[in-house]
């Protein structure tokens, strides 16, 4: 086999020699539970392909495969001034993006607002009121005293929303720990627009988008090989471009079968029926204790929100079972608090470069009031590696499935999110898994594989929820101008009061 990326030392064999037998046995058990071998990766990928297909069909499946009404890639020559709003998990980001005439260029100004924790489980009016207040503040700050035309807005709403129209979306269900009553099953746009209206904020929503679609489009703006947009963060999901002829559930609309439409897969829902993913007892607990049991099966095994919790559940279990005497005699009350460890805790364990794991030792003392002994530290490190590796390898199955389904032998995949950007070794582990699934023997250049020549390369994306949202708004306005209003609920309303309505061609995307 051809090596891929820097090889990690066959780590810590020496220190294992001093381990009590029961601890060695326990590490082996965890390795069996959390390791996904090549054969299993391939089986998961094959099943994934059939589930992607099912999701596109009229009957549907558990992966939603939501058509986004973002019809095709940008040319690089889109122009105009747009607002973008990203309602993510931790922050609310507002941007103003100017797309100048130069190909693939953009200017951006932005402000971030904290997303108060209590809003995530509060009520809908408070949520939309807060979002509208932030937009109002942004406009007042950046356009004080100006008489403004209505600014078109691309709103990145990173939750599963069925989109009969690009300017509307019905939230299927909350994901990523949000739990606000009275929003699921409803169109999120009218209450959002009502909150803007109440405050007289000069904004017109042009496109409601998913973060993955934004990532795909923003990355394609500067890279024509871009085929898939992925988020590996608090949640995990992907979007790609499909031809309408392949979307069975849109057959009744008689669209041009060759026209392109971006599909927001919502692949977090893959294997909700538990047919193929190798779930451990800890995955079962995560699901059972989550606000939406039975949903987002794939996401719950790989996304940032759950990595720390998986790790915590294993450690608590080992303490309670007693056979390895994990943290024996210590007060583990801090560790017992659900969701007290996030993915960055795991990252820190994996990043500990000291042979004696001194950083991990200090981290446990400081954050959890636990003093781990040396063999316990070894288990902790191995467990973090296993959970992080499983996440990267399972994530790769989704990417491989889209590539195989579309027949892409080579592709660029734009990725964003905290796990992709910050979790140690995630990229190399993902590439290794792709190599195993797709049987790569050599790089694109025919030479031994190395970063930069992988046939399918997962690479850092452009700013999806800023530039991507602006581009999708621009593409939407442009096609309205050209008379293509398919998938747009209120195209006249969309233009009303904007520069575009006055025939300002620059606001549409010029050439």
User: Catalytic positions, please?
Assistant: 158, 173, 211
Sole binder of ligand GLC in the list 96, 266, 271, 376 (CB under 6 A) = 266
- Using CB under 6 A as the criterion, what x/- string covers residues 285-324 for binding ligand GLC? --------------x-------------------------
Task: Pick the piece of the chain touching ligand GLC (CB under 6 A) from 99-107, 155-163, 272-280, 341-349.
Answer: 155-163
Q: Does 158 bind ligand GLC (CB under 6 A)?
A: yes
Q: Does 210 bind ligand GLC (CB under 6 A)?
A: yes
Q: Does 464 bind ligand GLC (CB under 6 A)?
A: no
Give min distance, CB of 233 to ligand GLC, in A: 5
Within 121-223, where are the H helices? 124-142, 189-199, 211-222
Sole binder of ligand GLC in the list 163, 206, 212, 476 (CB under 6 A) = 212
Q: Rounded to an integer, what distance in angstroms lies between the CA atom of residue 465 and that of residue 264?
A: 14
| Closer Cβ to ligand GLC, 426 or 491, answer by number | 426
Q: Where are the beta strands (DSSP E) in 369-455?
A: 411-416
| Closer Cβ to ligand GLC, 61 or 372, answer by number | 61
Give min distance, CB of 413 to ligand GLC, in A: 15
Sole binder of ligand GLC in the list 62, 81, 136, 237 (CB under 6 A) = 237
Q: Does 160 bind ligand GLC (CB under 6 A)?
A: yes
Q: Is residue 113 helix, strand or coil?
A: strand
| Closer Cβ to ligand GLC, 206 or 418, answer by number | 418
Within the chain, how many helices (H) and strands (E) appear?
16, 13
| Closer Cβ to ligand GLC, 159 or 423, answer by number | 159
Cα dihedral 481→487→493→497 (10° resolution): -40
Token pair, residue 122, equals 């509060």
What are the DSSP calls for 96-120, one per residue?
EEEE-SSTT--EEEEEEEE--GGGG
Sole binder of ligand GLC in the list 67, 74, 233, 388 (CB under 6 A) = 233
**Cβ atoms within 10 A of the Cβ of 67, count?**
24
Give min distance, CB of 259 to ligand GLC, in A: 24
Q: Rounded to an integer, what distance in angstroms lies between the CA atom of residue 173 and that of residue 156?
A: 16
Residue 367: φ, ψ to 5°:
-85, -30
Task: Pick the piece of the chain touching ligand GLC (CB under 6 A) from 103-111, 207-215, 285-293, 339-347.
Answer: 207-215
Sole binder of ligand GLC in the list 235, 308, 375, 414 (CB under 6 A) = 235
Q: Does 476 bind ligand GLC (CB under 6 A)?
A: no
Q: Does 213 bind ligand GLC (CB under 6 A)?
A: no
| Closer Cβ to ligand GLC, 237 or 432, answer by number | 237
Give min distance, CB of 232 to ligand GLC, in A: 8
DSSP 293: T
Q: Is residue 236 helix, strand or coil?
A: strand
Sole binder of ligand GLC in the list 61, 80, 202, 268 (CB under 6 A) = 268
- In what helix (H) or strand (E) does residue 377 lie, and over which residues does it extend? helix 374-406
Question: String of b and e for 202-223 (b: at least 16 CB within 10 Å)?
Answer: bbbbbbbbbbbbbbbbbbbbbe
Choose among 463, 482, 390, 462: nearest CA to 432.
Answer: 390
Site size for ligand GLC, by CB under 6 A?
Answer: 16
| Closer Cβ to ligand GLC, 266 or 463, answer by number | 266
Choose among 51, 434, 28: nearest CA to 276.
Answer: 51
Q: Does 168 bind ligand GLC (CB under 6 A)?
A: no
Token pair, residue 9, equals 């030392």
Q: Rounded to an integer, what distance in angstroms lies between the CA atom of residue 406 and that of residue 53?
A: 11
**What is the contact surface with ligand GLC in residues (CB under 6 A)?**
158-160, 175-176, 210-212, 231, 233, 235-237, 266, 268, 299
């Amino acid at each position: 086999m051809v090596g891929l990326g820097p090889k990690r030392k066959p780590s810590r064999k020496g220190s294992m020699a001093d381990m009590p037998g029961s601890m060695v046995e326990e590490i082996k058990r965890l390795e069996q539970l959390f390791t996904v071998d090549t054969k299993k990766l391939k089986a998961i990928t094959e099943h994934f392909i059939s589930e992607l297909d099912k999701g596109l069909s009229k009957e549907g499946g558990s992966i939603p495969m939501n058509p986004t009404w973002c019809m095709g890639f940008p040319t690089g020559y889109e122009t105009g001034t747009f607002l973008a709003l990203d309602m993510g998990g931790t922050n609310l980001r507002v941007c103003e993006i100017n797309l100048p005439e130069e190909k693939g260029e953009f200017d951006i100004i932005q402000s971030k607002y904290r997303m108060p924790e209590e809003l995530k489980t509060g009520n809908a009016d408070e949520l939309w009121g807060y979002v509208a207040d932030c937009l109002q503040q942004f406009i007042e700050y950046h356009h004080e005293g100006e008489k403004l035309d209505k600014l078109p807005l691309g709103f990145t709403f990173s939750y599963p929303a069925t989109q009969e129209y690009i300017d509307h979306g019905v939230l299927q269900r909350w994901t990523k720990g949000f739990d606000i009553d009275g929003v699921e099953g409803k169109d999120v746009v009218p209450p959002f627009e009502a909150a803007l209206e109440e405050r007289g904020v000069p904004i017109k929503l042009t496109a409601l988008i998913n973060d993955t679609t934004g990532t795909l489009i923003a990355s394609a703006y500067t890279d024509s090989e871009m085929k898939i947009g992925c988020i590996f963060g608090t949640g995990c999901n992907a979007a790609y471009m499909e031809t309408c002829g392949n979307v069975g559930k849109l057959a009744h609309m008689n669209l041009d079968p060759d026209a392109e439409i971006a599909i927001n897969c919502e692949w977090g829902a893959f294997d909700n029926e538990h047919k193929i993913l190798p779930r451990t007892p800890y995955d079962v607990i995560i699901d059972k204790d989550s606000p939406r049991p039975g949903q987002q099966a794939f996401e719950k095994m790989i996304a940032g929100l759950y990595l720390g919790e998986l790790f915590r559940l294993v450690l608590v279990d080992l303490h309670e079972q007693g056979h390895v005497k994990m943290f024996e005699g210590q007060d583990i009350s801090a560790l017992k608090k659900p969701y007290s460890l996030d993915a960055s805790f795991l990252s820190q364990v994996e990043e500990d470069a000291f042979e004696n794991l001194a950083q991990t030792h200090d981290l446990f003392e400081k954050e959890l009031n636990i003093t781990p002994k040396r063999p316990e530290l070894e288990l902790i490190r191995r467990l973090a590696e296993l959970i992080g590796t499983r996440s990267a390898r399972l994530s790769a199955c989704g990417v491989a499935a889209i590539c195989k389904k579309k027949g892409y032998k080579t592709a660029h995949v734009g990725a964003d999110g905290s796990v992709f950007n910050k979790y140690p070794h995630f990229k190399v582990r993902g590439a290794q898994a792709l190599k195993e699934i797709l049987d790569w023997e050599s790089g694109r250049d025919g030479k031994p594989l190395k970063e930069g020549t992988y046939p399918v390369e997962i690479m850092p994306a452009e700013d999806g929820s800023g530039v991507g949202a602006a581009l999708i708004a621009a593409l939407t306005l442009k096609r309205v101008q050209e008379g293509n209003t398919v998938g747009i609920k209120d195209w006249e309303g969309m233009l009303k009061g904007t520069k575009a309505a006055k025939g300002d061609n620059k606001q549409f995307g010029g050439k």
